[in-house]
Amino acid sequence: MTKLRIGVLGTGGIATERHIPAFKHVKEAEITAVMDVNEERARETAEKFGIEHVCKSLEEMLEKIDALIIATPNKFHAPAAVQALNAGVHVMCEKPMALNTKECEEMVAAAEKSKKVLLIAYHWRFLKESRAAKRLIDSGEIGQPLVIRIKSMRRRKVPGWGVFTNRELQGGGALIDYGCHLLDLAMWLTGSSKPFEVSGATFNHLSMQKDMVNEWGTINPATFEVEDHATAFIRLENGAVVMFETSWAANIPKDEETISISGTKGGIDVFPLRLNKAEHGVLINSDIAWIPEEKPFAILQAEHFTSCCFGESTPLTNPEESMYVSSIIESVYESAKIGRSVKIR
């Protein structure tokens, strides 16, 4: 069997610590090329992982591969994806899908025209708790989801490295970088109903303090251009509502990453996984005692992408659903700017 030849665009931490090691476990695929604007870093990555080609441009790399992993700053997601898809190359793109809905639409159009795979790397869908929760919800355990509560909160952990706080390159801060994961997961768990109205607010008060105490490096208020905290109320077309809060720098006792979904027959919490129901006249909270062990999420995602490229699977994270998440993020920023709710087109 011919192996899937994969190129990696961007050789920062997400590529070298997650994607490249994960594909080492996929026998049907091989990472054969890398490219980075920092050529020295690209060469070091190639040497470390035994990758054959270090390319000087995306055009050069696209001639040598069947599939592309995009692990660049957010600004370059859409242009690179469209270029690769137009060249007949499958794409797995790091989250978020793009900076805005227009760019997402361009990516979807290119994928449809080329008939190539476009998968957005929302890897929380591959966690064993997420997959178990999805099975329970799809089986009807909680009935119709009505109210979805999401908290994606860190206690003073603003990334003090890379370009995370650069608005031009990233498009935003905690919301587009961190909160998008649980937002995507909650939407997927509850059936990916289209959002139509968003009210949001963003803050950066903590990170703008000169004496900011931060666990993840030093923050310079003079160059901090994004939000460190965001909150939103989201209405979905199926009648459900989402209450969402995310932060890099909250004043809370400890980090909190939770999804709580209340439905017509019961409720479910994720992280930790628990069912909440009323049965036989009593209220029952059922902790999940055991979930079958699976491979690490990064390997599952790598295997799944490879399977999709060979036409054996349909992308678990389809681009239309990923575009919903980007439309919510874009609308939160707009709502925060104008001070009122906004309708999603």
pLDDT in tens, 214-256: 999 999 999 999 999 999 999 999 999 999 999 999 999 999 9
| CA–CA distance, 255 with 219 (Å, rounded to integer) | 19
pLDDT in tens, 130-162: 999 999 999 999 999 999 999 999 999 999 999
List the one residue out of 119, 86, 88, 94 whose CA is nearest residue 9: 94
Tell me what the pLDDT averaged over the chain comes to: 97
Q: What structural domains and CATH numbers belong to the chain?
A: 4-123+298-314 (3.40.50.720), 125-294+325-343 (3.30.360.10)
**Between these two residues, 2 and 7, which has the higher pLDDT value?**
7
Cβ–Cβ < 8 Å for 175, 202: yes
Amino acid 334: pLDDT: 99
pLDDT tier at 345 (50, 70, 90 boundaries)?
confident
Q: State mean pLDDT over 195-201.
A: 99
Taking alpha carbons only, the member of 236, 280, 293, 282 closest to residue 261 is 236
Q: How many residues does the chain have?
A: 345
CB 322 within 8 A of CB 97: yes
pLDDT for 10-43, tens place per residue? 999 999 999 999 999 999 999 999 999 999 999 9
Share of the chain above pLDDT 90, in %: 98
Residues 6 or more apart whose CB falls under 8 angstroms from that of 337 comprise none
Residue 293 has pLDDT above 90, yes or no: no
Q: Check whether the bond before 272 is cis (ω within 30° of 0).
A: yes
Average pLDDT over residues 96-106: 98
CA pair distance 158, 174, nearest whole angstrom: 8
Do residues 221 and 208 make contact, with C-beta atoms less than 8 angstroms apart?
yes
Provide the 10 A C-beta neighbour count for residue 276: 17
Crossing angle for the helix pair 77-86 and 101-114, to the nearest 10 degrees: 10
**Residue 329 — pLDDT band, cuts 50, 70, 90?**
very high
User: Taking Cα atoms as reference points, which of 79, 59, 81 lies closest to residue 68?
Assistant: 81
Specify the pLDDT at position 1. 66
DSSP letter assigned to residue 193: P
